[in-house]
Structure 1
């Protein structure tokens, strides 16, 4: 614990309490699965076999992005087939995304940026939520809002591991899930940082293998990722 005490912003007491409570679950998800594959699914038929390959490879969580029209349909299909795994939804930018994610059975939600309205919505829905930050000012905002787990995005251009090292002594309470531009070989270096709880990325499920439907190759990558 640091020698100073930061007072959280009181934007909504009930929402803050709910967010704090659900953050415990988010912490468990991130700790259990140190590598979280970020999936962009363009064909709904790929959703279940893709998730199956990753889970059989030994990983317990995935993030399905909303970058395609198939995003929510893919989320619903995967949560129905794999209720015991942590299925997250990414690229959340609207309040209705949070509501629909909850209705679709998502275990957690992820955003590329940080926004108070989305934080309040996630708290109201009691959905574990990982907002994204890139700068020190955004990290401070997250801390003032009572959030201790943040997505560091896009990690590569936001300073990479060196940026995380610089942030660590300033915000010792914060833990990050760096995502964006990270390669398989770089993942271990990120995981070695004391303020990194997990790493997200498409390196364990590259788009070219998804398009080829090479589930065996993706399973092998998941097995490799599970050992990091």
Structure 2
């Protein structure tokens, strides 16, 4: 998918898996992103959990034009502003408040606010938001919970994230209310430490083939 088309597509439809990335060393950001994109995973969520996260987003946005890089672990209006300034193209939060939802909406970027209960889903639907992150997916009820939401809440589509593996991902992707899943299994710590980007690319390719 070319960058122009990707900019118009829903984050949920870019690829079956969104890699959830924790960048510890800024030197890893660009080669890691290139490996993921080469493997067929263009949407990359860089979590704001490390001191170099914003610089990593900026570096990927500048150097990997085929990547659709987003910011994860967005929990404040300041996070939103910083992510936009760094060049993020979508936002993901582990949960939401009215103030955070307002800030994400005002950013003009696609966003996935986090939910784990039916009441949170209903509240988002009331606000006109139909795409959301289900987190922490495995701990919050997994595929059985999401399947039970599909009937009464057909307007909601999810990106489940949290504890999902290559083995469990197909079960989520088979649900009608799931657009994609988030995970980090294609980024094993030993491969990143060894800068084995060929292995990352191979695992990304396997993940991209899940649907």
Which TM-score band (shorter chain)? over 0.9
1:36 partner SS: strand
Partner of 1:97 in structure 2?
79
The 1-side partners of 2:75 and 2:10 are apart by 24
1:100 Cα deviation after fit: 1.2
Judge conservation of contact 1:47–1:77 (CA < 8 Å) in 2.
yes
Q: Whose Rg is larger? A: 1
1:122 Cα deviation after fit: 1.8
Higher mean alpha-carbon deviation, 193-202 vs 111-120, is at: 111-120
Change (3 A) 1:159 1:25: farther
Q: 1:106 aligned to 50, 73, 88, which one?
A: 88
1:207 Cα deviation after fit: 2.7
Partner of 1:56 in structure 2?
38
Judge conservation of contact 2:60–2:67 (CA < 8 Å) in 1.
no
The 2-side partners of 1:46 and 1:169 are apart by 43
1:190 correspondence with 2:172: yes
Partner of 2:139 in structure 1?
157
**Where does the alignment leave 5 or more consecutive residues of structure 1 unmatched?**
1-23
1:166 partner SS: helix
Task: With the length of structure 2 as denominator, give the TM-score of the two structures.
Answer: 0.93
Judge conservation of contact 2:15–2:40 (CA < 8 Å) in 1.
no
Partner of 2:115 in structure 1?
133
2:167 partner SS: helix
The 1-side partners of 2:98 and 2:157 are apart by 19
The 2-side partners of 1:211 and 1:43 are apart by 10
The 1-side partners of 2:7 and 2:105 are apart by 13
Partner of 1:224 in structure 2?
206
Partner of 1:11 in structure 2?
none
1:166 Cα deviation after fit: 0.8
2:56 partner SS: helix
Q: 1:122 aligned to 93, 104, 110, which one?
A: 104
Change (3 A) 1:57 1:66: same
1:140 Cα deviation after fit: 1.1
Q: 2:61 aligned to 79, 82, 85, which one?
A: 79
